[in-house]
Structure 1
Amino acid sequence: MALFERQAAERERDLGPDHPDTLSSRNNLGGAAQQQGRLDRAVPLFERNLADAERVLGPDHTDTLTYRNNLAGAYEAAGDPARAVPLYIDALTGRERLLGPEDIRTLGCRDNLARAHELTGHPARAIPLHERTLAARERVLGPGHPDTLLSLTNLAYAHHRARNRERSAVLFAQALANGERHFEPGRPATRHVRELLGHVRSG
C-alpha cells in the first residue's frame, strides 16, 4: 500500500487535488486499503474521491460512475449494504445510459446491486437483475464462459434465498451440468457451483 500512498501524494502535490490522475491514484489507494481490510481508511478515501469527481468531472462521467460503484463496495464490505444500494443503482443507471446494458462494466455493476439486495434481505429484487445479466452474458460471451456460469449460479442461489426451491433446483442442476460440460472439476467456475450447491443442500 505504500506505493499507492506515495503515488497519490505525489500526484496531489504535482497536479493538484482535483486533477483526474490524482483522483485515479486516490481511488487506487482506497482499493488497496480495502484489500488489506483497512475499511476505516478506504471508506473516507472513496467518499472524498466521489465528492471531488462529481464536482470536477460531473456526476455522469465514466470515472465518477466507477468511484460511485467503488464507494458502494466499500460500504458493503464494511457491513452496510443498505447504504450501498442507492449508490449501486445510480452507478448502474449511469453505466446503462453511457456504456450500454451489455458492457462488461455495466454487467459487473448489475451483479453488485443484485448482491446488495440479497444482503439486505430482498432476494426477489435480485432475481430480475441476475436474469438480465445472465441473458446478456449468454448472448455476448456464450454459455461456456465462466462469467455466464457465475450468473446462472447466482440466479439459482437468489431463487433459493427467495424460497423458490423448485426453480432453484432446476437452475442449479443446469449450472452443474454446464460446469461439468465446459470446465474441468478443479476450475474456479466449477468449484463455485459445487460450493454453493453444497451450501444450499446443507441449509
Structure 2
Amino acid sequence: MFHPLFKQFACRMKRLESFESWKRDDICRTELADAGFVYYGKLSVVLCFTYLLTCFFLTFNLPFLPDVDNKVICYQCGCIVNDWFENADPWLIHAQSSPFCFHLYIKSGQAFIDSAREGREPFIEQPVLFAPNADRYTCKICFENEISTVFCPCNHAIACYECSAELTDENCPWFRRKLCDVIRFRFFD
C-alpha cells in the first residue's frame, strides 16, 4: 500500500511528538517513530469513508483498543502492536507483524523484512559511501543522503529512503506527476 492510512503522521517529527505521554522507558521512542509507529494514546483520527455511497466524516479515538498505555499504530499500514517486551526491536516486530508495509519496505528493504519473517538474523543494509562532490547521487530533497528510490511511472531517481518515506503528496516531487509506486535501489560503482 503506497498511500499512508494516517497521512498527518508521515513526518517523523509528528510521530515522535505523539510519544510525549508514552510512559515506557524500556523502549526507545525515537526507534518507534523511525519504524513508523505513532502512540495510540495521542491518536485522534478523522477518516473519510470514501468506499461508501455517500461520504461522511467520523472522528474517533479507536475505541476498540481499551488499553492505550502500550499500543502503537503504524501511520502507513495501520499495524497495531501492543505486546511490547523490554528492549523490543520496533523494526523487527513491525516486519513480523506487517511485512507488506510500504514504510518498512522503503526504510529497511525487502531483505530485512524477509529475514525478520523467517526468524533469521536481520539483514541490515550498510549505507554506500560516495564522494562528497558527487552531487549527481545526492538526494534532491534533503541534499544530504544518497539517492535510493525511483518514482514510477516517471522513473525519476531523485530522493533518499528517508525523504521518499515522508512524502505526503501523491505526486513526483520533481515532475508533479501522479505516482503509482516507489522502488528502492542502490548505486554500485
For the aligned pair, the TM-score class normalised by the smaller chain equals: under 0.3
Which structure has the larger Rg over C-alpha atoms?
1
Structure showing the higher helix proportion among its residues: 1
Larger RCO: Structure 1 or Structure 2 (Cα < 8 Å, ≥ 6 residues apart)?
2
TM-score normalised over the length of structure 2: 0.26
TM-score normalised over the length of structure 1: 0.25
